[in-house]
Amino acid sequence: MENVVMEVKDFSFVYPGAEKPSLKKITLPVEENKITAMIGPSGCGKSTLLRSMNRIHDLYPGNTYEGEINLYHRDGTKENILKLKKENDFIRLRQEVGMIFQKPTPFPMSIFDNVAYGLRLAGIKNKSELQDRVEAALKGAAIWKETKDRLGESALGMSGGQQQRLCIARAVALKPRVLLFDEPTSALDPISTGAIEELISELKSEVSVVIVTHNMQQASRLSDYTAFMYLGELIEYDKTETIFLNPSEKLTEDYITGRFG
Amino acid sequence: MNRLMLNKTILILSTLAAVIGVGFLFWILITLSYKGIMAIHWTTFTHDLVEGGIRNLLVGQFTMAILASVIAVPVGMMAGIYLREYGHGSKLAAVIRNLSDVMMSAPSIVIGVFVFAILVDPFGGYNGFAGIAALAIMMIPIIISTTDNMLGLVPQELREAGIALGGSKHKIILQVVIKAAKVGIMTGILLSFARIIGETAPLLFTSANNQFFTMNLTEQFPSLTVSIYNLATYPDAPSRDLAWAASFILTVIVLIINLFGRFVVRNKK
């Protein structure tokens, strides 16, 4: 388990008021500096699982968790994030485990302030440090060239693809250990999608990535590992190559070849 | 044939109805402008009511409306934030939202009577504070409703994105969500200000009126709208002319605030 950054163990999840659990006893590792894709038909629970990994679900009260989701810190210690209760702990967790959403979510402020926002939340006040880290993040998200002359302009004036890369820059700026992507390209055109995919594969030298996608080509192009989920259960998890070329489960093969879903 | 006839009849009837409606509006505006402009003199703005001008009335009306906004805007906004961001889905929030909507359509004279009972009667007389309180009570539900609705238009993803960056809920609300809803909330504040600046009933027996210039809120306070009400009932021509002038000026003020509100929306969206 040396190269695992997060590990989901016997994890079950029930939405408030729901009779059946949306996730049943999921066990899944997240390898360090690799891209893990989660695929499966709508309603299979892949987004629910992703959103459990930084406890963003806790915005809405009443969820029931069971099992463990462990985060391995840089110093090697292990922490079960399902045990976190205090707001400060959540904040610490989310600085370690960032998230990118389906629709770009630029804040109504300047490009610079968007990227600096998370850093300021993290308590960085020094101006030159802020400037350096914003620049590094924008470079890291391959959007520096387009933005360096308009850092003071509103982020809302950018195109959808640029906005999404800005959101990635914003998350990268915090130097997280893990980045969670929730269908990050499904609201974008093919060219922007290509740019985002390229960016994600470049990012893995610095962070570990978990990506939920509806697009199977995207999963096969991008990821190192793939998890196939169906009706709240993890059907199969393996190297992406194996999943796509030689799946061991009949269900996985049927889904990948487009027989359902 | 029959269908064509019916179509024509309805077209004619609805056009006629529109003409009648707009006709009255123009009748009012033209009469008001004609009589108002004829009655305005530069001394109208430089003299107080006691000398046949409306200077003290304008200052008094704006003082009360602005101070009412100083109370109503923060209270209304905070209540709106509670309803949308914290109490969403809770029973208490649903009750408060309903009560606030009821308050919004409460007859303004009722609010006047209520404030009379708690701020005029026990303190031995009409006073400016009572007028401010009455106007603030009118304004709060409007601000609550606008804030609530405008925050509702902010996509949930924006809140989640803020939380995912390591923000606490209150910081995200104050620094991101409110900013995203800023234009709508500001417009709502402007429109509710335009609404209360023209109110008479809540002031009639709270602040009443004052012929002299005063900034002392513990005594009767000058009001443009109450003066119009009084002046219009006087038999003498100068008083009536002043009522026309004051009405015209009030209309122009309300119109400008409304237009400004629309202008802000158009430019920011």
Region B72-87 average pLDDT = 95
- What are the structure tokens assigned to B69, written together? 């906004």
- Which pLDDT band holds residue B175 (cuts at 50, 70, 90)? very high
What is the model's pLDDT at position A42? 87
Q: Nearest CB to B157: which of A98, A105, A109?
A: A105
**A171–chain B Cβ distance below 8 A for any pair:** yes
> Scanning every residue of chain A, which has its alpha carbon at the shortest distance from the alpha carbon of B163?
A56
Q: Nearest CB to A121: which of B155, B159, B171?
A: B171
Q: How far is B25 from chain A (nearest CA, A)?
A: 40
What is the model's pLDDT at position B250? 95
In this prediction the pTM is 0.85
What is the model's pLDDT at position A2? 54
| CB–CB contact A108 B168 (8 Å) | no
**B88–chain A Cβ distance below 8 A for any pair:** no
- Which pLDDT band holds residue A261 (cuts at 50, 70, 90)? low
Q: Does domain B43-268 have CATH number 1.20.210.10?
A: no
In angstroms, the CA B251 to CA B241 distance is: 15
What is the model's pLDDT at position A8? 93
Predicted confidence (pLDDT) at residue B34 exceeds the cutoff of 90: yes
| CB–CB contact A171 B165 (8 Å) | yes
- Which pLDDT band holds residue A85 (cuts at 50, 70, 90)? confident
Cα B138–Cα B141–Cα B142 angle in degrees, nearest 5? 85
> Scanning every residue of chain B, which has its alpha carbon at the shortest distance from the alpha carbon of A107?
B176
> Scanning every residue of chain A, which has its alpha carbon at the shortest distance from the alpha carbon of B182?
A108
| Most B CBs within 10 Å, among A48, A95, A109, A117, to test the B interface | A117
**A107–chain B Cβ distance below 8 A for any pair:** yes
Q: How far is B141 from chain A (nearest CA, A)?
A: 27
What is the model's pLDDT at position A1? 43
Measuring CA to CA, which residue among A220, A230, A219 is closest to residue A252?
A230
| CB–CB contact B176 A118 (8 Å) | no
The interface residues of chain B toward chain A in range 45-74, judged by CB-CB distance below 8 A, are none
| CB–CB contact B160 A105 (8 Å) | yes
**B165–chain A Cβ distance below 8 A for any pair:** yes
| CB–CB contact B163 A59 (8 Å) | yes
Contacts of A59 in chain B (CB under 8 A): 159-160, 163, 169
Contacts of B153 in chain A (CB under 8 A): none
Domains along the sequence of chain A with CATH:
4-256 (3.40.50.300)
Predicted confidence (pLDDT) per residue in A6-29, tens digit: 999 999 999 988 888 899 999 999
What is the model's pLDDT at position A86? 86
Locate the domains of chain B by residue range.
1-39, 43-268
Predicted confidence (pLDDT) per residue in B247-260, tens digit: 999 999 999 999 99
Predicted confidence (pLDDT) at residue B2 exceeds the cutoff of 50: yes
Residues 6+ apart with CB under 8 A from A98: A54, A171, A172, A174, A176, A178, A179, A180, B164, B165
Measuring CA to CA, which residue among A144, A117, A140 is closest to residue A130?
A117
Predicted confidence (pLDDT) at residue B85 exceeds the cutoff of 70: yes
In which region does residue B241 sit, left (phi positive, over 0), alpha (psi from -120 to 50) or beta (all else)? alpha
| CB–CB contact B166 A95 (8 Å) | yes
**B153–chain A Cβ distance below 8 A for any pair:** no
- What are the structure tokens assigned to A81, written together? 């994030």
Measuring CA to CA, which residue among B260, B258, B220 is closest to residue B56?
B220
- Which pLDDT band holds residue A179 (cuts at 50, 70, 90)? very high
Mean pLDDT of chain B, nearest integer: 93
**A81–chain B Cβ distance below 8 A for any pair:** no
| CB–CB contact B165 A94 (8 Å) | yes
**A35–chain B Cβ distance below 8 A for any pair:** no
- What are the structure tokens assigned to B180, written together? 């995203």
Predicted confidence (pLDDT) per residue in B104-127, tens digit: 999 999 999 999 999 999 998 999
Predicted confidence (pLDDT) at residue A260 exceeds the cutoff of 80: no
Residues 6+ apart with CB under 8 A from B233: none
Predicted confidence (pLDDT) per residue in B189-216, tens digit: 999 999 999 999 999 999 999 999 999 9
Q: What percent of chain B has pLDDT over 70?
A: 99
| Most A CBs within 10 Å, among B88, B165, B169, B171, to test the A interface | B165
CB A215 within 8 A of CB A186: yes
Residues 6+ apart with CB under 8 A from A118: A95, A170, A171, A173, A174, B165, B166, B167
Region B226-241 average pLDDT = 93
Predicted confidence (pLDDT) at residue B268 exceeds the cutoff of 80: no
**A174–chain B Cβ distance below 8 A for any pair:** yes
Q: How far is B96 from chain A (nearest CA, A)?
A: 21
**A103–chain B Cβ distance below 8 A for any pair:** yes
Size of interface A-B (CB pairs under 8 A): 67
